[in-house]
Amino acid sequence: MTDVDKVSKMVHDVLENQDLAVLATHSSGQPYTNLVAFLATKDLKGIIFATRCTTRKYMNIVKDARVALLIDTRSNEEADFHKAMAVTVTGKAQEVGGEEREKLAGLYLEKFPHLIEFISSSHCGLFKVVVSKYTFVSGFQNVVELEVIK
Amino acid sequence: MNPVIPLDHIHEEHREFVGGKALAMAAMAQEGILVPDAVCVTVLAYQEYVATTGLAERIFMELNRKDFTDMRWEEMWDASLRIRNMFLNASIPLLLEKNLRLALEPIAKKGPVVVRSSSLEEDSSKVSFAGLHESYVNVKGIASILDHIKLVWASLWSDAALLYRQELSLSPEKSAMAVIVQDLIQGDKSGVAFGQNPHDESQAVIEAVYGLNQGLVDGTIEPDRWIIDRATGRIISHTPALRKEALFALDEGVRLQSLPFEKQMVPPLSNTDLKRVYELVRRLEFLFGAPQDVEWTQKGPFFYALQTRPITTLPGAPSEDKRAWYLSLRRSFRNLVNLRKKIENEHIPAMVSEANQLATQNLKILPDNELAEKIKKRSHLYQKWVDIYWADFIPLAHGVRLFGQVYNDIVHPSDPYEFMDLLGTTEMIGMKRNSMLEQMASLIRNDHILAKSLKSDIPQIINEEFEQRITEFLHEFGYIFCHTSECDEGRRGVIRMAMKLAERKAAERRIPARGKKSNNLRDSFFSLLKNSQRTYAAELLDLAKASYRLRDDDNIYLGKIEEQLSVALGEGKRRIENRGIESGEELTISEVIRALENPHVKIKRRKEKKAKENHFSITMRQLRGQPASPGVVRGKARVIAHPSDVFSFKAEEILVCDAIDPNMTLIVPLSSGIVERRGGMLIHGAIIAREYGIPCVTGIPEATEYIQTGDSIIVDGDFGIVTIANKAAK
């Protein structure tokens, strides 16, 4: 499990098969987490999610763009201890606009067609997390990091 | 369904609950063939036990520690030992225990029993495996029967089963084990009969020994053997055995006893008996519709069938399939005692004398072609000893395993490797060598003038005792740093190592200290044994200690031969370099020989691989291996990729390497932790780390690739995890 291609494929598979991620932001050092519906870009360099501008996470990101996301394959059964895989994403979230928003919103809605009204509403921000690192955990304790080369 | 079914209630529809062996026993009983009275503990009991105790998931986690394709056989043995210990330490849930007691009490009260495996996998497999799962003979009383049922359950995950996991479709989700508890028939004679000779379809084979047939099955006792013509029932041949001993039930378990002279002279079976065994085999073949492999015993006038199974093909063994060889490593106590004698009395003296003889040859004066000849000879000699190493030295390591199993069965320790603390008080050569170095270091510490002189460019030794110690050291252990073409390094290397040790403060010096703990463990182990078990246990412990010590020493002896090959090879490379080729270091043995034989030969340089472009860079954060020596430590990594890297080793660094070889044993006392690519508890690194009480993790194949010298790493020897906390700045 040491090959870049192999690990990025495994990360890709986890991200593709999950809909929800735990998003971590903070306010004055106090950590705060939420569930968000997410989409990973094909090149794995970005994670897309949406939130209304009235939410606490929106305000937290405005103050500090550094975020982390946790995406995992747990099924809430005992077998999770050997079977479950988890991906922690760290990076910076930026709200997207204009053409890029239109393009990413289209991709996002392909995965979550039922969120059309939510995405189209005027106070919904679409965010792209520019990924700096993936931390991939498998087999309970094997941990490998994939860093995006800039 | 009741978790226990009597033999006469078992029918075809119970197959998936009782396994093939129990089903065959029931079919024989129902057909009127004499079999010992028995009951079957169905797979439902196994399933309830592993689910309730959480063992199901723990087995999963143990087997998922590492990709199976990356696992060495020794690691499978370790995994199997850990799983076995989980079974030993997990009690049977109260309700299940109550039900089992109720159902097994009648058979337990009748007398001693045999507890046999009846696995579903073994039955469904198209290949047969000897000794895949365990059976226990002469078990007495309900408590002991329950303990042995757990051991048979655990043997579903034996190292042999793990090796053949694919053929068996072994999986923690589906696999389960049924257990047969049957009356022990204390037969006068016993044996195995093959309805059809696996090597000749026209023949049948009958083997027989006096006493119980367990000795025959595990290879301790040689049987008399008859070949019979299947068409006529005529005896084709009889190969008598040297009938010295036989296995009998004694107190609990079985023991070897000498045979009285009159029995030694007479084959266990008369022609009439032979005919009856053959009739039994033919009858079973008719009953099951295929030739059978039958275990039988004779008590008085009665012949009992103990178990039967169809004769299947032996596991296919293409030459690259080493699994049959791995299984051959599981040897009997008797076999190992003989192996020890061979190693101590023949192999080691021969290795020492051959290495010493080579050391007297002066290679520098030889012309190139003669040097090439010497390299060839030394390379063949080294290969010969490597072969012997695999054939005899490695199997002896099983002595440690045999003792470990007995210790764990008696003591039920929480640490499955606690038994190793009893083995380490014998002096190993590697430890002796380190202690001689420590004495030299002590002289340097106490003699400032000597210390100063050694630091100068041309060190002058002005301390007689130091000079004497160096000479003794080199005489006893050779020029162990001579893996480079510059062989003066040998003496300098030893001095440098002693200087490094001298720099350490008293508090930092590691000395092996475990005598008291070891004695306490030994005393409590022996206090748990019955009188009748003590002699065997003491002999087994003695064997295990020798096996443990030799497991490290053999490496050093083999190193002496390898050193002589390296010296010759180094001389060859030096001469080739002098011809203007940049570096001879990377040349293979055959390239060196060719270049020495023919000065005009051209050597192709190896091309370097081009790195592939990628969008990501990969870093290992946490790597999982085997916990080989307990403790947690954080420190700077030092990767030893080349023998000369040991000179750069600094005190308190963490040693990261492929496998600890004789050179590296010297730096072990300087290190604060050890990480090895090779896995297993009985590899040199693990043994020496435990001796010094240094945390050690083995079996991380990526270790030398992803850990770099200078990285800050954490070695967790309790759980077998290595964390790369901070990468060194590039």
Under 8 Å between Cβ of B707 and B722 = yes
Contacts of A143 in chain B (CB under 8 A): 620-623, 723
d(CA B655, CA B639): 6
pLDDT > 90 fraction of chain B, expressed in percent and rounded: 37
Q: What average pLDDT does range B412-423 have in this prediction? A: 86
Higher pLDDT, A69 or B690: A69
Closest by Cβ to A4, choosing from B63, B616, B723: B616
Q: Is A99 on the interface with B (CB under 8 A)?
A: no
Q: Measure in Å the smallest separation between the Cα of A131 and chain B Cα atoms.
A: 11
Nearest to B206 by CA among B189, B186, B184: B189
Closest by Cβ to B615, choosing from A43, A83, A135: A43
* pLDDT, tens only, B430-478: 777 778 888 888 888 888 888 888 877 666 667 888 888 888 887 777 6
Q: B208: which residues sit within 8 A by CB, 6+ positions away?
A: B189, B190, B191, B223, B224, B226, B267, B268, B269, B277
pLDDT at B316: 45
pLDDT > 90 fraction of chain A, expressed in percent and rounded: 77
Q: What average pLDDT does range B314-337 have in this prediction? A: 63
* pLDDT, tens only, B144-180: 999 999 999 999 998 888 887 767 777 777 888 999 9
Please say if the pLDDT value at position B140 is more than 50.
yes
Q: Is B706 on the interface with A (CB under 8 A)?
A: yes
Please say if the pLDDT value at position B485 is more than 50.
no
Closest by Cβ to B721, choosing from A3, A141, A148: A141
pLDDT at B317: 43
Q: What average pLDDT does range A101-126 have in this prediction? A: 92
pLDDT band at B486 (very low <50, low <70, confident <90, very high): very low
Half-sphere exposure of B229 (CA within 13 A, CB side): 7
How many residue pairs bridge chain A and chain B with CB atoms within 8 Å of each other? 77
pLDDT at B127: 52
d(CA B36, CA B41): 16
Which A residues 131-150 touch B at CB under 8 Å? 134-135, 139-149
Contact B616 A2 (CB under 8 A): no
Q: Give the total residue count for chain A.
A: 150
SS (H, E, C) B599-649: CCCCCCCCCCCCCCCCCEEEEEEEEECEEEECCEEEEEEEEECCHHHHHHC
Q: Measure in Å the smallest separation between the Cα of A57 and chain B Cα atoms.
A: 29
Contacts of A148 in chain B (CB under 8 A): 615-616
The one-letter amino acid code at B205 reads V
Q: What is the dihedral of CA B441, B449, B504, B496, to 10 degrees?
A: -60
Please say if the pLDDT value at position B484 is more than 50.
no
pLDDT at B312: 66
Higher pLDDT, B563 or B147: B147
Under 8 Å between Cβ of B627 and B681 = no
- Please tell me the least confidently modeled range out of B476-490, B580-594, B595-609: B476-490
Closest by Cβ to B615, choosing from A140, A141, A149: A149
H-run or E-run covering A104: helix A98-111
pLDDT band at B490 (very low <50, low <70, confident <90, very high): low
* pLDDT, tens only, B504-560: 765 455 555 555 577 788 889 999 888 777 888 899 999 998 888 887 677 778 888
Higher pLDDT, B485 or B24: B24
Higher pLDDT, B356 or A91: A91
Under 8 Å between Cβ of B682 and B600 = no
pLDDT at B133: 84
Half-sphere exposure of B680 (CA within 13 A, CB side): 22
d(CA B339, CA B482): 32
Q: Which tokens is B282 given?
A: 């033919």
Please say if the pLDDT value at position B427 is more than 70.
no
For the ranges B391-400, B514-523, B628-637, the one whose mean pLDDT is highest: B628-637
Parallel, antiparallel, or unpaired for β A30-40 and A46-52?
A: antiparallel
pLDDT band at B329 (very low <50, low <70, confident <90, very high): low
Three-state DSSP class for residue B504:
coil
Q: Measure in Å the smallest separation between the Cα of A85 and chain B Cα atoms.
A: 13
CB atoms within 10 A of CB B73: 18
Q: B202: which residues sit within 8 A by CB, 6+ positions away?
A: B229, B230, B231
Which DSSP string do the residues of B652-708 spell out, in sequence order?
TPEEEESS--HHHHTTGGG-SEEEESS--SSSHHHHHHHHHT--EEE--TTHHHH--
- Please tell me the least confidently modeled range out of B7-16, B322-331, B455-464, B487-496: B322-331
Q: What average pLDDT does range B259-276 have in this prediction? A: 92
Chain A interface, best mutation among B66, B609, B615, B616, by max A CB count within 10 A:
B616
Please say if the pLDDT value at position B122 is more than 80.
no
Q: Is B286 on the interface with A (CB under 8 A)?
A: no
Contacts of B624 in chain A (CB under 8 A): 139-142
